[in-house]
């Protein structure tokens, strides 16, 4: 892994809510969870969670997939 990518990933995980989201999604596996379910489980406001999911997706930690009206998030392997 290149140092620049490592810094990007570590920066994305340098916040408690993001670590908790990532841990939850790793445990959930390939199917992942919807943003609403993540927010409910971790008790994070939707707007705050959206910000964190965006940061983590941009860092390459998460993948997202639209299923109807819902976006499912999962940890990248």
Residue 19, C-beta contacts closer than 8 angstroms, at least 6 positions apart = 13
What is residue 52's predicted lDDT score, i.e. its pLDDT? 96
* Residue-wise pLDDT tens digits, 16-35: 999 999 999 999 999 999 99
The residues pairing with 6 across neighbouring beta strands, listed in sequence order, are none
Contact 26, 35 (CB under 8 A): no
6, HSE (Cβ side, Cα atoms, 13 Å): 3
Confidence band of 1 (pLDDT split at 50, 70, 90): confident
Per-residue pLDDT reduced to its tens digit, 47-77: 999 999 999 999 999 999 999 999 999 999 7
User: Ramachandran region of residue 76, left (φ > 0), alpha (ψ -120 to 50) or beta?
Assistant: beta
Q: Which residue has the tokens 């299923």?
A: 67
């Amino acid at each position: 892994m290149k140092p620049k990518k490592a810094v990007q990933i570590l920066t994305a995980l340098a916040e408690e809510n993001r670590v908790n989201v990532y841990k939850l999604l790793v445990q959930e596996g390939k199917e992942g969870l919807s943003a609403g379910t993540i927010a409910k489980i971790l008790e994070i406001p939707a707007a705050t969670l959206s910000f964190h999911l965006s940061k983590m997706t941009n860092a390459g930690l998460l993948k997202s997939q639209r299923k109807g009206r819902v976006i499912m998030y999962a940890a990248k392997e």
